[in-house]
Amino acid sequence: MKNKLLLFNSLIGLLIFLIVACNSTTTKETKATTTTAIADNRPKTEADFLLDYLVKTGDYVNTRQFPSMIKAPTVLENLDKKMLVLDIREAEQYKKGHIKGAKNIEFSKLPDYFVKDIKPFQYDKIVLVCQYGQKSGYATALLRLMGYGNVYSMRWGMASWNAAQAGTENWNKILSDKFTAQLDTLTYKRGAESVFPELKTGKTDGAEIFRERVKILFEQGLPDVWLNAEQVFAAKDKYYIINYDRKDKYESGHIPGAIRYKPNGLLGIPSEMLSIPADKDLVVYCETGQNSAFVAAYLRLFGYKARSLAYGNNSFMYDKMKKETALGWTAFTPEQAYNYPVVK
């Protein structure tokens, strides 16, 4: 009896050993497979290092602060508080009339101004102002990525602050329905995963790559950042067109060939960004041109040949936006044109 019991216990022990051994082998094989899969991925590029750096330093584009805009009434309410207004329009525009206390700073000089001339974080808010909220949005995106978390773009620009002072440079001259009849409702699919653009900074440290790329973008200035609706509709096949809006709005009508990317679901996400062709001219558009200016700044940081469609849907399908109230389009209205004071 004792022999049988001894034999039984030996068999149980052997079985347990075999089970543990098999599980251990399976685990090792699984880990080896995972390691191999990682090793087989594409080699890291400068864009990958840049992306890693931006994610580690706050991942601004995937926060609720993106895009960072402030309305004219809020600016007016806080003018006498710890707020600094920077007007990045041309000097002649500034001289015709600007917000009280606003400093006129050229776009290309903003980085030096923040480092050498002010202590940025002594202000609760630093508000960038241009004529229509396009250029200030682009500049705000870059400054936010640089770590200045108190910078905002004034929504709709000086054309909203004081419509009378804006003269001919007002939103009414922008609003148009000229291309509504050409809109498309087909859903266009993005292409296969591609590669990031080559940044060619010669660096492998994300922070150094970022500093180099930001420097380049400020030095390049603003001339080639925007296209208008006429340019885009006249040469639709030339561009990879990104519709940066909600699905229901995209389905209601969009530029022919435009591919929809979900807001807050594109930037900083490799699988999404890699679906954008690195070698093609890009046009990003939204409803006002303000959000797309933020997006274009981020994509240009990564070397994409991205431009923003100035003034967005307001410039080519305005009447449609006004009629489709259920969709909640962001259409400029007379109520957003104020008569706030300016100084010369």
Domain boundaries, the chain: 54-173, 180-327
Q: Does the pLDDT of residue 24 top 50, yes or no? A: no
Q: pLDDT at position 16, please?
A: 40
Of the pLDDT bands very low, low, confident and very high (cuts 50, 70, 90), residue 28 is very low
* Domain 54-173 matches domain 180-327 at the CATH topology level: yes
Phi and psi for 259 in degrees, rounded to 5?
A: -110, 130
Rounded Cα distance, 276 and 16, in Å: 53
Query: What would the CATH number be for the domain defined by 180-327?
Result: 3.40.250.10
Q: pLDDT at position 41, please?
A: 67
Sequence-distant (6+) residues with CB within 8 A of 282 are 239, 240, 241, 242, 276, 299, 304, 305, 306, 307
Of the pLDDT bands very low, low, confident and very high (cuts 50, 70, 90), residue 163 is confident
User: Which top CATH class is 54-173?
Assistant: alpha beta
pTM: 0.87
6-40 burial, b at 16+ Cβ within 10 Å, e below that, comes to: eeeeeeeeeeeeeeeeeeeeeeeeeeeeeeeeeee
Q: pLDDT at position 101, please?
A: 97
Mean pLDDT of 268-294: 97
CA within 13 Å, CB half, 181: 1
For 70, the token pair is 């402030």
Residues 285-338: pLDDT tens digits?
999 999 999 999 999 999 999 999 999 999 999 999 999 999 999 999 999 999
